Amino acid sequence: GVMLIDPEMVSSVEIDKGAQSGMGGAAVLGGIASFNTLQASEFLKDGKEYGGRIRAGSGIGELGNGTYFNGGSVFAFGNDLGDALFAYSERHFGDYRTGRQNADNLGTQIRNKDSRREAWKDWLTSEVGDTGSVTRSQMVKLGLNLPNDQRVQFTYLETDTDSKDAWTYFNAQGDGYDYIRHSKSDINTGNFGLDYSYNPDNELIDFKSKFYYVNTQLDRRNAPHKASANSGNAFGGYEDEFRTSTWGFQAENTSRFDLNNYGQLSWNYGLESYQDILKSKNNLVPAENEKDLAWVEGADPEGKRTMASLFNSLHYQYSYWLTLDAGLRYDRYRLEGKTGMSLWQAPVTQVAGGGQTMVSGEAVRIDRFYDSDREEGKFSPTFGIGIKPGVDWLQFYGRWGKGWRPPAVTEVYMTGRPHGGNATERVFPNPFLKSEESREWEFGFNIFKESLFFNNDRLGVKVAYFDNNIKNFSFLHYGVALPGSSNGGSLGRSAYVNNLTDTKFRGVEYQLNYDMGRMYGNLSYTHMIGSNEFCAKDYYMGGAKKRGKLIRKWSVPVTQPDGQIVPITKREYEWLDDVDRNNKIDCGPTMGSAAYMPADRGSLTLGARFLERRLDTGVRLRYSPGNGENLNEWNYSGVEQAAWPKYSVYDLYVSYWPTDALNITLSLENATDEAYFVALGDGNNLSMARGRTLSGMLEYKF
């Protein structure tokens, strides 16, 4: 569930929305984001045999606001035989000051504004503490050009991020909030890839393949529980580790056919396969009173998911006015692993005839194991059409498709405490989680017109309506009840479950781009429609029990600490399946930002170029009307309540190239010092975004 992206290593980003019938579309629903990393060829143009760039940036003065060194270097060399690229970058951030203007947009309940005014003011004006992070990345690419238009390239990319997890708590004096660290995380991801391509002068062959290995590891040092030693609730600091390793292979070919007067046809086909392996461990010594262990002590949960996919898609172009595409892929997965949980329950005895009885008294520990091995496959079709109605600058289009996403190993097998410190939450596994299935469609129009008002100006417009309906949508459900119990759920227990109602994401996207050379503007806005309800059974794995009729009772002599012997009454009851509780469905308890439809959001950029276009200046507005229907009625009865205040954030930027090799960039983010945050990710944190921040960057190309 973690992906690290260093912008210093990225050359371009390509986004394909919706279900896909091409490479990368296995086990995805919403679409594919392809982050293309730097290539040596970008620095070896015009016959150069070596080249590169150096970037160095930082926050400036007091307005730097916790932004420290940010930069890196790239060096490439090569010729017709091959090339090599070496890159390194670092990014340093520290504690920062949030915005303070328009704080009334945050509502009356966030951080107890109405009831604790002084503490709320302190939270607003104080720095966000213990939020520093350091990210380091390095990349090596070695490419070899072989005869007959073949190429082989080896890639190594590693990114490492050290960061802290701090929550805010009301302080002892009652006049502010303190940031208390719960854990310190080190996330490391290492990517190894071997690419091979063959693209001869043959319209039937454009072949690409890749072998890759990715290892993502989270090492986390957690704070101890600060309860008193004699309370039975304290535990010491501990470390845990989560590691996901992925092996994969991809291969695809594109064949092109010229049908003369009947248009052009291209056929893309191939296969991809990968395997995710999850392993985790920790050295936590549970508190004396701890009754919820997500996994048996001494055992490490692990799981493996293997995906294989065959895909193909046809793209047909007739004249300038008709475009058709159709695709079909077949995905198959296998999920293997073991997990479990430790429960404290009253002693249960099997009786003749298959029944059970329960003896009241002290609970005993029962370990439940789940060793799963399941396999499933699915066909997923896609179809699209584009029509230009008599003019080449206007196109109407429509797309339809089906998608399928089997559960990830982390959703099925990951267990344990999500936080250290005083947190009481537990995440439990769900070995019975189902695959998600989507049915989606989109239609709209595109406009692209050159020389509209002036010579060589360009206008681009896109309006699209999208509708994505997902069956068995997976979400983190809190308050779940565990099998074999009769007392229902607990707020601190969470597990991934499938939504029993269909989940819909619908909306309209607007995009406008205009560039006349000296001046330009870009506008984008997404409007979401409707809402979702998230419903699941409290006993997400079943196993609800209830006490039946009394069978017998008896007395047992027990010696007290003072030496007295007193009788203790024991009772034996029928222990029956509770059908009503097993079937009880609860709608609402949802952890995370999926609880509410994402708020509308948009951006507007206006820019101007001077000095023969070497000087580029502009302002960007980031806007959202918010989604905070509970901002003034917040009561924590459900942590899924929406808390997405409206905001209008302005950024200013200046970029100047005094020579073709040297660039100077200045940016002032959140120029009006807006008090805002983008989403409710955690009910206790509520750390707002950075306030007014000035930073600069120097870049030298050679």
**Taking the model in full, what pTM does it have?**
0.89
Closest alpha carbon to 445 in 512, 506, 526: 512
Check: CB of residue 269 under 8 Å from CB of residue 252: yes
pLDDT in tens, 67-82: 999 999 999 999 999 9
pLDDT band for 1, please (50, 70, 90 cuts). low
Q: Which residue has the tokens 């454009």?
A: 206
d(CA 410, CA 535): 21
> Which carries the bigger pLDDT value, residue 216 or residue 365?
216
> Which carries the bigger pLDDT value, residue 531 or residue 139?
139
pLDDT band for 635, please (50, 70, 90 cuts). low
Residue 375, token pair as written in the block: 């396999």
pLDDT in tens, 576-623: 999 999 999 988 878 766 667 888 999 999 999 999 999 999 999 999
pLDDT in tens, 168-203: 888 888 889 888 888 899 999 999 999 999 999 999
Q: What is the pLDDT of residue 539?
A: 94
Q: What is the pLDDT of residue 681?
A: 46
- Position 30 pLDDT exceeds 90: no
Residue 685, token pair as written in the block: 């944190």
Query: Is 335 exposed, middle or buried, given 0-12, 13-18 or 19+ CB atoms closer than 10 A?
Result: buried
- Amino acid present at 346: A
**Which whole-number Å values give the CA distances from 87 to 6, 9, 13, in the listed order?**
11, 8, 18
Looking at the DSSP bridge assignments, the partners of residue 551 are: none
Residue 124, token pair as written in the block: 């607003």
Please state, rounded to an integer, the average pLDDT across all residues of the chain. 90
pLDDT in tens, 494-526: 999 999 999 999 999 999 999 999 999 999 999
pLDDT in tens, 392-402: 999 999 999 99
pLDDT band for 636, please (50, 70, 90 cuts). low
Report the 10 Å Cβ neighbour count for 549: 7
Task: Provide the phi-psi class of 114: left if phi over 0, else alpha when psi is between -120 and 50, else beta.
Answer: alpha
Using DSSP, state whether 81 is helix, strand or coil: coil
